[in-house]
Amino acid sequence: MPPTAGEIRVHGRPVRGPAPNEIAYVFQENTLFPWNTILENIKVALEFQGVPVAERQDRAQQAIEAVGLSEFAHSYPHQLSGGMKQRVAIARVLANDAEVVLMDEPFGALDAMTRERLQDELVDIWSRTGLTVIFVTHSIEEATFLADRVVVMSPGPGRIDNEYRIDLPRPRDIASPEFNEWRRLLSSQLHSHHGRKAG
């Protein structure tokens, strides 16, 4: 969809459409092929990208190791938990070697403990790879824990309402007064939206 105004750039280059070698996606629901093993799922994604056959095995294996699933490389999606399937989705992104990763509520359907573990793993992967991640979430705590920059959007039609630079050191302690001050600030921002909409 063309923008109504402005433009999007990645490293100074305008984005005109899908760019699988630069931009990758992780969705809320996994998009794994059930008839392929985890390793094969990642290799298929590399095939779609045009990666030479000789490179696919190594890149897929390295990505699986990066998300801690080496012992499940030859398992099928139905043999994995929801959290493990999302780790495979992240591995696929790492194998693609994209510059920007778009994540649309990737942990939203998971139980609380799995969600927290994957948040920790995502921060660890980000710190090791330097990936640029744009992460959509409705959870204020998740945004405060993960982000360096939080962009708050107003309710429909969605517009950017405010932007915050989260200056908390890592690793972040969700029980600290500083963390909770940020959480209160973002919460009050969102509640002000609902008040305006209801009024």
pLDDT digits 0-9 by tens, 64-115: 988 889 999 999 999 998 889 988 988 888 888 788 889 998 888 788 888 8
pLDDT digits 0-9 by tens, 9-29: 888 888 887 776 778 888 877
What is the pLDDT at residue 198?
39
Under CATH, what is the fold of the domain 22-132?
Rossmann fold (3.40.50)
Minimum mean pLDDT range among 13-27, 43-57, 78-92, 147-161: 13-27
Q: Where are the domains of the chain?
A: 22-132, 137-199
- Reported confidence tier of residue 193, pLDDT bands at 50, 70, 90: low
What is the pLDDT at residue 197?
46
Residue closest to 94 by CA, chosen among 124, 120, 71:
124
| Cα distance between residue 145 and residue 125, in whole Å | 15
* pLDDT above 80: residue 195: no
User: If you average pLDDT over residues 112-130, what whole number do you get?
Assistant: 85
Name residue, tokens 């989705």. 89
* pLDDT above 50: residue 125: yes
3-state class (DSSP) for residue 133: strand
